[in-house]
Each structure stands twice: as C-alpha cells, then as structure tokens.
Amino acid sequence: MTNRFAETIDALQKNIENAASKAVSILLSNQGSSHERMALGAALGKVGDPRLSFPDNDMYWNVVNLGYTHILVATYPVTIKEWRDFVEGDKYKNDDFWSAEGRLWRDKERPSWQELASSPAVQQLVVDNHPVVGVSWYEAEAYAKAYGARLPEFDERVDIIRGLEKRHYPWGSPFGHGNSNTKEESLGQTTAVGIFYNDKISEGIYDLVGNVAEWTADIFESKAVLHPGSWSKDMMSSWPKASTSLSPAARLDNLGFRLVKDI
C-alpha cells in the first residue's frame, strides 16, 4: 500500500481533523489500486462517510434524462447506514409500506437482517458506506414506498446506464480493467459505494454495473427481475441488458437495490 493511502487510513483511525474529507478527495481522484481504494473506503465508512445521505434529502438524488422522460435516480445503491435506520426503526413494521405478499413474508419466522448481519463471516460487508445486501425484493419495495420512491423498471435501468448516446458501459467501451467492482478485480466482497470512479454516468450515478446486483420493479412469472452485475460475477453480468430472476424472498450477499423517483 502506498504511503498516501496508509497515512490517510491511519489518520481516519486516529480521528484526525479533516481526515474524512481528505479520504473522499483521494477516492474521487480515482488514484491507487482497487485494493487500496477498498481499504480506504472501509476505513472511511467506519468513522463516518460525509458523502452519505438519506432519500428525504435532495442531495440523495440526481436528475437523469431518459429521452422520453426525466426521473430522479439515487446517487448510490441503498447503503448499510440507510438500511439500518429503516430496519431498526418504526418504518419496517409499518404495514402501509408493504404489499400483502410482503407482509406475509415479513411476518414469517426467519432470521432477521440484523441477525444475519451479526455473523462474523460477513462483517467485512457490514460497513455503513457499503451497499446493503441480504435484502429481499419485498423489503426493497417497502423501503422505497417508505420514502415515496420506487424500484426502477428493468428497461429504465438499462436506459440510465446507456444514456442518450447508447454507451456500452457507464465509461464507454471496452469493459477493460479497474472500472467496476466485478469478479475480475479479485476483491471478493462489496466495497464502499462510489470508489470505482469510472462506474459512473455523467449525471453522477455510481455503481451501476458492479459492486452489487440490484433488484428492479419487474416481476416475471412470479419471480423478481434483477441486474446481476456485482463483486461476485464476471464482466458478462455487467452488460447493461444482462438480467436474471429470483424469488422475491431471496436474500443474497451480492444483491442490493437502488431507488428512483418520478418527477
């Protein structure tokens, strides 16, 4: 690890003034290796990442022109910090935010997200500025409704990634190396959101083809459709039109979600 990264991580751990802003500046510069940025991002998440916000904050959203409409899109996938606030607060049990099927799923006897997240085997994933994983489609839908938002439709999500110019990936093409948190990077886990600077469209939306797979609003033959690009999948899963479907009850360590909002 280079001195710049090691010194900044040390400063974060010692709670030195302005260390967090310096860490953000380094991450936004797209310098260092994927492993260095992962370590710095995790250190930042443990002391408080100033980039994070909640869906009731205007800074959470960015306007994206899809050609046929404009929508608000979350800068990042939903983070651990956001999810903890929801699942440990009153909103999670508020029936108004749940579909009938979702309530049936929620009220069955099963390990809670908090119980799953407390396992020593997944602690490297449970950092405030990492995208939340292990969330069912029902839970993602309820979270979105709690904030007057929704999950993106699959075709909308494709259009967000490709833009009006129909790019192959957020950064263009070819897929290359070091552009997104996929299996090729050999990180073996989620990272802090937004540390792969090239996995970003010009409107400021990060982590669109890697880090975590994302649920969409689409249901096909009783299964929920998702974009599979994530830390555990190779580049083929990062293609904007790549898709798979799972039971809405599925909870996986590479699967999260993102919010959109109609204007």
Q: Which distant-in-sequence residues (6+ apart) come within 8 Å of 229 by Cβ?
A: 180, 182, 208, 209, 210, 213, 237, 238, 239, 242
Q: Please report the pLDDT score of residue 113 as a whole number.
A: 97
- Whether the pLDDT of residue 165 is over 90: the answer is yes
For residue 244, the surrounding DSSP H or E stretch is: strand 244-246
pLDDT given at position 120: 96
pLDDT tens per residue across span 213-261: 999 999 999 999 999 999 999 999 999 999 999 999 999 999 999 999 9
Report pLDDT digits (tens) over 10-45: 999 999 989 999 999 999 998 899 999 999 999 999
In the structure, what pLDDT confidence band is assigned to residue 1 with cuts at 50, 70 and 90?
confident
Mean of all residue pLDDT scores within the chain: 97
Domains with residue ranges and CATH for the chain: 1-50 (no CATH), 60-262 (3.90.1580.10)
For residues 263 and 255, give the distance between their C-alpha atoms in angstroms, rounded to a whole number: 27
Q: Is the pLDDT of residue 90 over 90?
A: yes
- What is the average per-residue pLDDT within 123-134? 97
